[in-house]
Amino acid sequence: MATVLFLSSSRRVAAQALARSTSTMAEKSVAIALQDVISRMKRASEGAGRTQPVRLVAVSKTKPVEALQEAYDAGQRVFGENYVQEMLDKAPALPSDIQWHFIGHLQSNKVKAIVENVPNLAMVETVDSTKLADKLNRAVDLAGRTEPLAVMVQVNTSGEESKFGLEPGECVALAKHIVQSCPKLRLAGLMTIGMPDYSSRPENFQCLADCRAKVAAELGLVPEHLELSMGMSGDFEQAIEMGSTNIRVGSTIFGAREYPARPKSPPAAGQA
Ligand SMILES: *Cc1c(COP(=O)(O)O)cnc(C)c1O
């Protein structure tokens, strides 16, 4: 008994030492995790016989600029943020050739700030109303950006109550509005989160692909010229198999987040 106790306590010491070293590793392994995601992406693309490249958006919400810099140093150039204030804080602290994707709920009163202060804002993936499209269009115009801003129409593909994303039946009208009435925006494609708990099912991916087919048919576009932004840490390989061109991966690259992914309330007053 005494021997067993001795053994187990020395094992515990060893286990603690290992835990310490792996937690140090976990903090330093953004580059390794990123490489792993890229390999898995490539494998999924090849397996699905995809010819179009798939874009990886490294979702860095809640993570410090040091973690983003590490991913940048490992070659990553596209980053996604959910909160306007976080993007406003991080963008100036990081290299200007980063392409920022905004992937959170964008309030109309924050549009001007983000467009004016983040010149390397490359895409807003979460346009879900004509009002927001109009605000963005005007802000891009006023900011004097030479290129139109790429946007995606966010679709609620779960059929469940959600504050964000419009119903599949509404996506054609919004896409049409962007193409016909927002010359400072470029309709890049469609985006979905999936289920309200941020997981996805094949039905969500299929629904988004169906939306794209409808939008393309109605607007006389080639479907493949519109992107599909779908797939996160837990399901990006399946999303790629089902046609995703833009996956948004956070925790698998940067580690678990301190607070939940679901954008519940805006940052504390004064910060926003
Ligand atoms: C947080 C978030 C992601 C990334 O989620 P992970 O599961 O951490 O990969 C992707 N898309 C959106 C819209 C998010 O809010």
**Residue 14 maps to a domain:** no
Q: How remote is the C-alpha of 240 from its chain's centroid?
A: 14
**Residue 127 maps to a domain:** yes
Intervals of the chain under pLDDT 70: 1-28, 259-272
Ligand 1 atom closest to Cα of 232?
9
Distance 200 CA to ligand 1 centre (A): 11
> What 3-state class would DSSP assign to 222?
coil
Q: What is the pLDDT of residue 266?
A: 52
Give the integer Cα–Cα distance in Å for 118 and 90.
10
Q: What is the pLDDT of residue 164?
A: 86
* Distances in whole angstroms, Cα of residue 57 to Cα of each of 28, 71, 177: 20, 11, 26
Q: What is the pLDDT of residue 263?
A: 53
Provide long-range contacts, Cβ within 8 A and 24+ apart, for 38-45.
Answer: 40/236, 40/237, 41/236, 41/237, 41/240, 41/247, 43/237, 44/236, 44/237, 44/240, 44/241, 45/240
**Residue 88 maps to a domain:** yes
Distance 14 CA to ligand 1 centre (A): 35
Among 34, 154, 198, 249, name the best residue to mutate to test ligand 1's pocket (greatest count of ligand atoms within 8 A of Cβ): 198
Ligand 1 atom closest to Cα of 236?
9
Q: Is the beta carbon of 244 within 6 A of some atom in ligand 1?
A: no
Q: What is the pLDDT of residue 262?
A: 54
Which amino acid is residue 200, in one-letter code? S
Q: Is the beta carbon of 91 within 6 A of some atom in ligand 1?
A: no
Closest residue by CA, ligand 1 atom 13: 103
Q: What is the pLDDT of residue 18?
A: 46
Q: Domain total for the chain? A: 1
**Residue 266 maps to a domain:** no
Distance 231 CA to ligand 1 centre (A): 9
Helices and strands in the chain, H and E counts: 10, 8
- Strand partners of residue 78: 99
**Residue 2 maps to a domain:** no
**Residue 270 maps to a domain:** no
Find the domain containing 242 and state its range: 29-254
